[in-house]
Structure formats: structure tokens, C-alpha cells
Chains A and B, each alone.
Chain A
Amino acid sequence: MCPVYHTLRFGSIEIKEPDSLEFPEGLLGFPQLKHYALLEDSEQAPFLWLQSLENTDLSFVLVDPSVIKPDYQIRVGKEEVQSIELDDPTEARVFVICVVPQEISNSSANLKGPIIINPKNRKARQIVLADENLPTRFFFLQDPGGESQ
């Protein structure tokens, strides 16, 4: 039997255990919340929801960074992905968290703190990148699609 979660945003959803993600360290600012579901809807692509399964009011908008910044490349040390047992970094799914305000054109993505998912064991982690040129607010709907002023 699939667990049913009563969420604020999606109403009741059923998540099979294998589809849920585990963040062993939670997210920065939400260290206690470790279980999430990735919810995709083709009409909203390339955006998806990361829905907390422990705090049903909490969700985040994620996007594949290569869609908003094609040259986005990250280097991750082995020890940074140890907690999610990622042996082959090329297998990881990478997403960035978006802030979507009332005025949609001011939406931004945090390129400095991406989420790395190990699809093999469904474990995930938010990492903080050392590259000083990566912004925490990349305004992807603004020309020239650049960084915060």
C-alpha cells in the first residue's frame, strides 16, 4: 500500500517508497526534514516540485540548471557526495532551487547551492559550490539572463 500524503499544494498524493528522495542532511535551513518527493508535470517542464513528505505545507520549485544556463558545469569533490554514496558523478541528476515571487519575471535560481540526486539509491544532498562566480540569484527570465545587480 502506498503512503498517502495530504499536501497543501497538490491535495492528496500517493508516493511509492521507491519514488521518494532521502536527504540524509536535509536542506540548509531545514535540517530536520529528510524525505521529499519530486513531482513532475509535463505542462510545467522544465520546472518541477520538491515536496516535503514530513511538512506537507513545504515545497520548492526546482529546475534543471542546464535549461536556464546551458554552460552550467559543476565540480564536486568525492567527499561532498559521500553521504549520498554517489560513486559515478556522471549519473547524478542536478537541480537548482528557484525563488518564484509574485512578479514572475523576477524569478531566480540558486546556482551556488545545487541539489545532487543519486538516482540509484534516491539519496540527495544540497551542496555549496566554492566557485565565487556562481550567483545565488540567477535571474533566468531577464536579459541578458544574468546575475543580480
Chain B
Amino acid sequence: MLVLTRKIDESIIIGDNIEIKVVEVKGDTVRLGVSAPKEVRIHRREVYEAILKENLAAAQSGKTDLTRLASALKNLKETRKK
């Protein structure tokens, strides 16, 4: 990982069109501003990782009986109607 030291209002540029700027520093919190083309996705790391983790868990669904799952859902809905 490349580690650079920046002061408030200083930026780094990634590639030709992504800029990350230190907007504010308050205690142990840093506010970052990101300028990037609209189609570039930007996420807090933990959110991205949470989705990734769920995808990996879902890919291991193994021997899954979807018919049973569909029945379970149907039963639940019918129970709720009562």
C-alpha cells in the first residue's frame, strides 16, 4: 500500500481522473472528499466487504432444495394471514 502524508485541503490523484482530498480532520476522524467519474463506484470499505462476504456465503449454498424453501415461505405467508 502506498502511504502518503497529506495536510487538510491537500489531495492525491489516482490515475488521471480520481482525486481524494482531505477535507477536515477532527480528533481521530478524517473527512475525505472524492472526485471521480460518475461510473466509478465508491464505497466505505466495510460496506463493500459486507456485500462481498454475503456473495461468498451465498455461493456455497451447496445442495439446496429450493422447493422446500419455497414451501417454507408459502407456509409463513399463510400463517401470517391468519
Among A12-20, A77-85, A86-94, the stretch in contact with B = A77-85
Q: Given A43-B70, A44-B66, A49-B66, do A82 and B54 touch, yes or no (CB 8 Å)?
A: no
B58 touches A97 (CB 8 A): yes
A77-B38, A82-B38 are known contacts; what are 6 more A-B pairs with Cβ within 8 Å?
A46-B73, A47-B73, A79-B39, A104-B69, A112-B50, A128-B41
Chain A 133-149 interface 0/1 with B at a Cβ cutoff of 8 Å (1 = within) = 00011001100010000
Q: With an 8 A cutoff between CB atoms, is A45 at the interface?
A: yes
* Chain A, residue nearest B47 (CB): A128
A46 touches B70 (CB 8 A): yes
A110 touches B41 (CB 8 A): no
B58 touches A98 (CB 8 A): yes
Q: With an 8 A cutoff between CB atoms, is A113 at the interface?
A: yes
B51 touches A136 (CB 8 A): yes
* Chain B, residue nearest A52 (CB): B59
Interface residues on A, range: 35 or more
What chain B residues lie within 8 Å of A99 (beta carbons)? 54, 57-58, 61
Secondary structure class of chain A's binding surface, majority of residues: mixed
B 52-79 contacts with A by CB, 8 A? 52-59, 61, 64-70, 72-73, 76
B72 CB to nearest chain A CB (Å): 6
What chain B residues lie within 8 Å of A30 (beta carbons)? 55, 59
A43 CA / B68 CA spacing, docked (Å): 9
Return 26 A-B CB contacts under 8 Å, by A number: A28-B48, A29-B52, A29-B55, A41-B66, A44-B66, A47-B70, A47-B73, A59-B59, A60-B58, A83-B39, A97-B55, A98-B61, A99-B57, A104-B68, A104-B69, A107-B72, A110-B51, A110-B55, A110-B58, A112-B47, A128-B43, A128-B47, A128-B48, A136-B54, A141-B72, A145-B76
